[in-house]
Amino acid sequence: MKKPAITQVSIDPTIAERWSGRAYDASKPITHQQTLALLEAARWAPSCMGDQPWRILVWNKGLDEKAWQQAFNCLVEGNQSWVKDAPFLCLICADTLFTKNSQPNRWAEYDSGAAALNLSLQASSMGLSAHQLGGFSVDKARSTFNIPEQFTLMAMISVGYLKDIGNVTGDLLVRETAPRSRREMGALFFDGAWDKPII
Protein backbone atom coordinates (compact mmCIF):
# COMPACT_ATOMS: atom_id res chain seq x y z
CA MET A 1 0.00 0.00 0.00
CA LYS A 2 1.36 3.41 -1.00
CA LYS A 3 0.78 6.43 1.23
CA PRO A 4 2.98 9.15 -0.23
CA ALA A 5 3.41 12.41 1.68
CA ILE A 6 1.12 15.18 0.43
CA THR A 7 3.37 18.16 -0.29
CA GLN A 8 3.00 21.62 -1.84
CA VAL A 9 6.09 21.09 -3.94
CA SER A 10 7.53 17.84 -5.23
CA ILE A 11 10.08 16.09 -3.03
CA ASP A 12 12.38 13.11 -3.50
CA PRO A 13 10.31 9.89 -3.77
CA THR A 14 12.54 8.00 -1.32
CA ILE A 15 11.55 10.58 1.30
CA ALA A 16 7.92 10.99 0.23
CA GLU A 17 7.11 7.29 0.10
CA ARG A 18 8.48 6.25 3.51
CA TRP A 19 5.74 5.69 6.06
CA SER A 20 5.46 3.65 9.24
CA GLY A 21 3.29 0.61 8.51
CA ARG A 22 2.25 -2.00 11.07
CA ALA A 23 0.50 -4.86 9.21
CA TYR A 24 3.54 -7.06 8.60
CA ASP A 25 3.46 -10.23 6.54
CA ALA A 26 4.93 -12.85 8.89
CA SER A 27 5.52 -15.23 6.00
CA LYS A 28 8.14 -13.06 4.30
CA PRO A 29 11.60 -13.10 5.90
CA ILE A 30 14.39 -10.52 5.69
CA THR A 31 17.64 -11.74 4.20
CA HIS A 32 21.11 -11.07 5.55
CA GLN A 33 21.82 -9.06 2.39
CA GLN A 34 18.84 -6.84 3.13
CA THR A 35 20.11 -6.41 6.70
CA LEU A 36 23.46 -5.27 5.34
CA ALA A 37 21.75 -2.72 3.08
CA LEU A 38 19.76 -1.32 6.03
CA LEU A 39 22.95 -1.00 8.07
CA GLU A 40 25.06 0.46 5.25
CA ALA A 41 22.43 3.19 4.91
CA ALA A 42 22.65 3.92 8.64
CA ARG A 43 26.43 3.83 8.48
CA TRP A 44 26.60 6.64 5.93
CA ALA A 45 24.52 9.13 7.90
CA PRO A 46 26.33 12.36 8.80
CA SER A 47 27.50 13.03 12.37
CA CYS A 48 29.18 15.73 14.41
CA MET A 49 32.97 15.49 13.95
CA GLY A 50 32.34 12.23 12.11
CA ASP A 51 31.96 10.44 15.45
CA GLN A 52 29.15 8.10 14.29
CA PRO A 53 27.71 7.76 17.81
CA TRP A 54 25.03 5.22 16.84
CA ARG A 55 25.27 1.53 17.72
CA ILE A 56 22.59 -0.80 16.40
CA LEU A 57 21.72 -4.24 17.75
CA VAL A 58 19.82 -6.34 15.21
CA TRP A 59 17.66 -9.46 15.49
CA ASN A 60 16.53 -11.45 12.48
CA LYS A 61 13.74 -13.86 13.43
CA GLY A 62 14.47 -16.15 10.50
CA LEU A 63 18.12 -16.55 11.51
CA ASP A 64 17.86 -16.61 15.34
CA GLU A 65 14.32 -16.79 16.65
CA LYS A 66 15.37 -17.08 20.29
CA ALA A 67 17.32 -13.82 20.24
CA TRP A 68 14.49 -12.10 18.33
CA GLN A 69 12.06 -13.25 21.05
CA GLN A 70 14.27 -11.73 23.76
CA ALA A 71 14.16 -8.39 21.95
CA PHE A 72 10.41 -8.68 21.33
CA ASN A 73 9.86 -9.26 25.06
CA CYS A 74 11.24 -5.76 25.75
CA LEU A 75 8.34 -4.12 23.88
CA VAL A 76 5.21 -2.84 25.60
CA GLU A 77 2.08 -4.91 25.03
CA GLY A 78 0.44 -2.40 22.71
CA ASN A 79 3.36 -2.70 20.32
CA GLN A 80 3.71 -6.47 20.71
CA SER A 81 0.19 -6.93 19.35
CA TRP A 82 1.36 -6.04 15.84
CA VAL A 83 5.17 -6.25 15.98
CA LYS A 84 4.74 -10.02 16.49
CA ASP A 85 4.61 -10.39 12.70
CA ALA A 86 7.79 -8.37 12.01
CA PRO A 87 10.70 -10.62 10.96
CA PHE A 88 13.34 -8.06 11.94
CA LEU A 89 13.92 -5.92 15.00
CA CYS A 90 16.73 -3.59 15.90
CA LEU A 91 17.63 -1.24 18.74
CA ILE A 92 19.23 2.17 18.22
CA CYS A 93 21.70 3.20 20.94
CA ALA A 94 23.54 6.53 21.22
CA ASP A 95 27.10 6.74 22.54
CA THR A 96 27.00 9.64 25.00
CA LEU A 97 30.78 10.20 24.77
CA PHE A 98 32.93 11.20 21.81
CA THR A 99 35.26 8.33 20.92
CA LYS A 100 38.26 10.59 20.31
CA ASN A 101 38.33 12.26 23.73
CA SER A 102 35.64 10.65 25.95
CA GLN A 103 33.96 14.04 26.38
CA PRO A 104 30.13 14.30 26.37
CA ASN A 105 28.67 14.36 22.86
CA ARG A 106 25.61 16.58 22.86
CA TRP A 107 24.75 15.45 19.33
CA ALA A 108 24.72 11.72 20.20
CA GLU A 109 20.93 11.38 20.14
CA TYR A 110 20.46 13.83 17.27
CA ASP A 111 22.95 11.97 15.08
CA SER A 112 21.51 8.59 16.06
CA GLY A 113 18.11 9.81 14.90
CA ALA A 114 19.65 10.50 11.50
CA ALA A 115 21.15 7.01 11.26
CA ALA A 116 17.79 5.50 12.21
CA LEU A 117 16.06 7.53 9.52
CA ASN A 118 18.54 6.41 6.86
CA LEU A 119 17.84 2.81 7.88
CA SER A 120 14.08 3.46 7.63
CA LEU A 121 14.38 5.14 4.24
CA GLN A 122 16.49 2.25 2.94
CA ALA A 123 13.83 -0.18 4.16
CA SER A 124 11.16 1.73 2.27
CA SER A 125 13.36 1.89 -0.80
CA MET A 126 13.59 -1.94 -0.78
CA GLY A 127 9.83 -2.38 -0.50
CA LEU A 128 9.95 -3.00 3.26
CA SER A 129 8.35 -0.95 6.00
CA ALA A 130 10.18 0.26 9.11
CA HIS A 131 8.37 1.45 12.23
CA GLN A 132 10.21 3.17 15.06
CA LEU A 133 9.11 2.23 18.56
CA GLY A 134 9.60 4.29 21.69
CA GLY A 135 7.40 1.89 23.64
CA PHE A 136 9.87 -0.59 25.11
CA SER A 137 11.52 -1.16 28.48
CA VAL A 138 14.93 0.48 28.49
CA ASP A 139 15.86 -1.30 31.73
CA LYS A 140 14.87 -4.71 30.41
CA ALA A 141 16.69 -4.21 27.11
CA ARG A 142 19.80 -2.92 28.84
CA SER A 143 19.97 -5.84 31.28
CA THR A 144 18.99 -8.52 28.74
CA PHE A 145 21.66 -7.45 26.27
CA ASN A 146 24.30 -6.11 28.71
CA ILE A 147 24.37 -2.63 27.17
CA PRO A 148 26.87 -0.35 28.95
CA GLU A 149 25.52 2.75 30.73
CA GLN A 150 27.58 4.91 28.35
CA PHE A 151 24.96 4.23 25.67
CA THR A 152 21.45 5.73 25.73
CA LEU A 153 18.78 3.39 24.37
CA MET A 154 16.69 5.48 21.99
CA ALA A 155 14.28 3.38 19.95
CA MET A 156 13.58 -0.06 18.63
CA ILE A 157 12.64 -0.43 14.96
CA SER A 158 10.54 -3.20 13.42
CA VAL A 159 11.09 -4.00 9.74
CA GLY A 160 9.29 -6.31 7.34
CA TYR A 161 7.13 -6.57 4.27
CA LEU A 162 3.57 -5.34 4.69
CA LYS A 163 0.63 -7.59 3.88
CA ASP A 164 -1.62 -6.84 0.96
CA ILE A 165 -4.13 -4.40 2.47
CA GLY A 166 -6.98 -6.71 1.36
CA ASN A 167 -5.78 -9.19 3.98
CA VAL A 168 -5.77 -6.71 6.88
CA THR A 169 -8.77 -6.47 9.21
CA GLY A 170 -10.06 -4.77 12.37
CA ASP A 171 -8.17 -2.07 14.22
CA LEU A 172 -5.07 -2.69 12.17
CA LEU A 173 -6.95 -1.94 8.96
CA VAL A 174 -8.19 1.34 10.42
CA ARG A 175 -4.65 2.34 11.42
CA GLU A 176 -3.06 1.29 8.11
CA THR A 177 -5.56 3.19 5.99
CA ALA A 178 -5.71 6.35 8.11
CA PRO A 179 -4.42 9.38 6.19
CA ARG A 180 -0.92 10.52 7.10
CA SER A 181 -0.80 14.01 8.56
CA ARG A 182 1.64 16.61 9.72
CA ARG A 183 1.46 20.09 11.29
CA GLU A 184 1.10 23.02 8.92
CA MET A 185 4.39 24.23 7.41
CA GLY A 186 4.10 27.58 9.21
CA ALA A 187 3.84 25.92 12.62
CA LEU A 188 7.19 24.19 12.21
CA PHE A 189 9.26 26.44 9.97
CA PHE A 190 10.08 30.08 10.58
CA ASP A 191 11.28 32.72 8.15
CA GLY A 192 14.30 34.41 9.71
CA ALA A 193 12.58 35.17 13.04
CA TRP A 194 11.12 32.89 15.71
CA ASP A 195 7.43 32.09 15.19
CA LYS A 196 7.26 33.96 11.85
CA PRO A 197 5.64 31.35 9.58
CA ILE A 198 7.54 30.47 6.41
CA ILE A 199 4.23 30.47 4.52
User: Scanning residues 67 to 106, which ones bind a second copy (CB under 8 A)?
Assistant: 67-68, 94, 106
Selected from 97, 114, 172, 173, the binder of a second copy by CB under 8 A is: 114
Name the nearest CA neighbour of 156 among 138, 132, 129, 139.
132
Residue 57 binding a second copy, by CB under 8 A: yes
Cβ of residue 102: shortest distance to a second copy, in angstroms? 17
Which one of 84, 100, 175, 182 is in contact with a second copy (CB under 8 A)? 182
Indicate whether 178 belongs to the interface with a second copy (CB under 8 A). Answer: no
Q: 34 or 85, CB closer to a second copy?
A: 34
DSSP secondary-structure letter at 180? P
Q: Which stretch binds a second copy (CB under 8 A): 21-29, 77-85, 111-119, 163-171?
A: 111-119
Contacts (CB under 8 A) with a second copy, residues 1-40 = 5, 7-12, 14-16, 18, 20, 33, 35-37, 39-40
Of the candidates 79, 69, 74, which has an alpha carbon nearest to the alpha carbon of residue 22? 79
What is the DSSP track for 36-103?
HHHHHHHHTS--GGG---EEEEEEETTT-HHHHHHHHTTB-HHHHHHHTT-SEEEEEEEESB-TTT--
State which residue, 26 or 134, has the beta carbon closest to a second copy.
Answer: 134
Contact status: 146 vs a second copy (CB under 8 A) = yes
Three-class SS state of 153: strand
CB of 51 to a second copy, least distance (A): 9
Phi-psi map region of 127: left, alpha, beta (phi>0 left; psi -120 to 50 alpha): left
> CB of 167: closest distance to a second copy in angstroms?
25
Give the end-to-end CA distance of the chain in Å, rounded to a whole number: 31
